[in-house]
């Protein structure tokens, strides 16, 4: 085990202990965790290796693909537009994207896109990973597709399509991609080390993602073998693996649902921005009312895609999952966050005044609530 570096404020020693335990007992390769409390950094730790050969130590500024932890960041862009009066979350998507009205989708709202309730978990044609790199192709396929269920009645996790749907709305409103809008309005002005996709000049800082061969007895394998057509359209069209995210083609693409690259420090900062002035160190980018709207639950239900992974009903707000009765993000039911494929996560709890970012490169087999995540969240709350 490589040495853990960074700082940990007095009173937060349990977080360091839990982080180190992830290396000793939970198979960590390289990772970082960051906690902000009251607008200041109280934990910023990193350790392990940035590559499977263990030749590159994980550094303070190592970047890694955080998979679906990106979704909360993309949702932030939509909420900033709504807060500035440029986007009506309750208006039909067709108002800004006319082609979207095809195949019975004329009444689907931006709110339903943000809450995974649009019924568009994926297009009805077979896709390859290479197809995801063609933005116009994928958004046109989604615009032509009919919903898999009646929009607004249930959530069904839009694993890949979410970024194209919300990202295209952002592009139609601003004339810029979600990644460009994020850089211009949030990460650039605030100096947050996070991009959607990865610029070529940052390749040297990127960690190598690693996944074990799929264990047929794992939770992931069990759930994947039981997927119906809706689940397959979300998680299996196409199937994406760690090896894809290590390619230059993946890094150069903008996939606002799944290929944000950043540090744990950056993830914690972005989820703090999404929480609004409750966590802001300075003037908030998002107003209090907009931040409250972002975590408005849209109704508990058994998610049509990830219901088995959560073991019951859950509730998605406008871009993130609520902690809820399963305590996915700690004891506050209205805390919110988003897990990334393999174990990363970002979260914020405005009532507790905290945000957390966790990134890693050895992907686990849990579709949600990786044991490393749970251990870190428990440790943070034990320190409050």
Closest CA to 255 of 116, 71, 117: 71
Residues 6+ apart with CB under 8 A from 16: 4, 8, 43, 45
| Angstrom distances, CA of residue 183 to CA of 73, 173, 188, 191, 208 | 11, 16, 5, 9, 24
| Angstrom distances, CA of residue 57 to CA of 4, 47, 80, 209, 347 | 10, 7, 37, 14, 26
Of the candidates 18, 34, 68, 355, the residue annotated as catalytic is: 68
Before 376, cis peptide (omega within 30)? no
Sign, CA torsion 166/170/175/178: negative
Cα separation, 172 vs 176, in Å, equals 8
Q: Check: CB of residue 345 under 8 Å from CB of residue 380.
A: no
Question: Has 68 been annotated as catalytic?
Answer: yes
Catalytic residue annotation: 68
């Amino acid at each position: 085990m490589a040495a853990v570096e960074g700082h940990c404020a007095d009173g937060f020693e349990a977080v360091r202990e839990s982080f180190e335990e992830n290396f000793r007992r939970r198979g960590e390769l390289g990772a970082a965790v960051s906690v902000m409390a009251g607008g200041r950094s109280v934990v910023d730790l990193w350790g392990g290796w940035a590559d499977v050969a263990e030749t590159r130590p994980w550094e303070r500024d190592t970047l890694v693909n955080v998979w679906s932890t990106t979704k909360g960041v993309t949702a932030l862009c939509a909420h900033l537009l709504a807060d500035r009066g440029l986007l009506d979350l309750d208006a039909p998507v067709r108002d800004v994207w006319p082609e979207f009205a095809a195949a019975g989708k004329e009444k689907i709202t931006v709110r339903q896109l943000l809450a995974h309730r649009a019924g568009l978990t994926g297009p009805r044609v077979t896709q390859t990973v290479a197809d995801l790199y063609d933005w116009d192709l994928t958004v046109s396929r989604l615009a032509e597709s009919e919903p898999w269920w009646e929009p607004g009645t249930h959530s069904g996790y839009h694993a890949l399509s979410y970024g194209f749907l919300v990202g295209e709305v952002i592009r139609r409103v601003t004339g810029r991609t979600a990644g460009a809008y994020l850089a211009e309005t949030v990460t650039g002005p605030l100096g947050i080390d996070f991009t959607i996709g990865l610029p070529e000049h940052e390749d040297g800082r990127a960690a190598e993602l690693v996944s074990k061969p799929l264990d047929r007895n794992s939770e992931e394998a069990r759930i994947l073998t039981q997927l119906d057509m809706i689940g397959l359209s979300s998680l299996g069209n196409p199937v994406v693996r760690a090896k894809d995210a290590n390619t230059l083609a993946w890094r150069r693409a903008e996939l606002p649902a799944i290929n944000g690259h950043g540090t744990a420090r950056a993830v914690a900062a972005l989820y703090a921005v999404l929480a609004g002035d409750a966590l802001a160190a300075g003037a908030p980018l998002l107003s209090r009312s907009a931040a409250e709207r972002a975590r408005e639950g849209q109704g508990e239900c058994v998610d049509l895609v990830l219901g088995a992974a959560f073991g019951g009903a859950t509730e998605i707000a406008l871009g993130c999952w609520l902690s809820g009765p399963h305590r996915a993000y700690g004891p506050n039911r209205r805390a919110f966050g988003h897990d990334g494929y393999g174990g990363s996560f970002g979260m914020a709890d405005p009532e507790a005044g905290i945000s957390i970012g966790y990134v890693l490169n050895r992907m686990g087999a849990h579709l949600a609530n990786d044991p490393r995540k749970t251990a870190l969240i428990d440790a943070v709350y034990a320190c409050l």
